[in-house]
Amino acid sequence: MRIKKGDNIKMLSGKDRGKTGKVIRVDGKSGLLTVEGVNIFKKHARPRKQGEKGEIVSVTRPVKSGNAALVCPSCHKATRIGMRIEGDKKSRICKKCGATI
Ligand SMILES: [Zn+2]
């Protein structure tokens, strides 16, 4: 996966299509990203003790990385990520403006 923790992404599909957010967790094995403010579900927590109130908590669920595109920090567009290899160094580049990410 080419998206890393701390990247800003834009959702391309799903209920949060068009939303942008910061990646807070990457799961490379399953190809899932957890993105701040994206794919939030409300969960109703039941009261555990008597006299306690039930509450609604917001849970951020991971999204498929294929539904997200990186937002280039240089041109601020949602872009695909290219790779540039210089010697034994690999760096990510923006396919739109060519900036190193
Ligand atoms: Zn760019």
Domain with 45 in it: 8-94
CATH number at residue 58: 2.30.30.30
Q: Tell me how far apart the alpha carbons of residues 75 and 17 are, in angstroms, rounded to a whole number.
A: 20
Mean pLDDT of the chain: 94
**How far does residue 70's CA lie from ligand 1's centre (Å)?**
10
**CA 27–ligand 1 middle distance (angstroms):** 24
Q: What is the pTM of this model?
A: 0.84
Residue 42 Cα, ligand 1 centroid: separation in angstroms? 35
Q: How many separate domains does the chain show?
A: 1
Asked if pLDDT for residue 35 goes beyond 90, the answer is yes
Average pLDDT over residues 91-101: 95
> Is 30 contained in some domain?
yes
Structure tokens at 101: 């990410």
**CA gap 76, 46 in Å, rounded:** 42
Is residue 18 assigned to a domain? yes
Give the per-residue pLDDT at 51: 81
Task: Quote the ligand 1 centre to 80 CA distance (angstroms).
Answer: 9
Report pLDDT digits (tens) over 37-76: 999 999 988 888 888 888 899 999 999 999 999 999 999 9
Residue 99 lies in a domain: no
Distance 100 CA to ligand 1 centre (A): 8
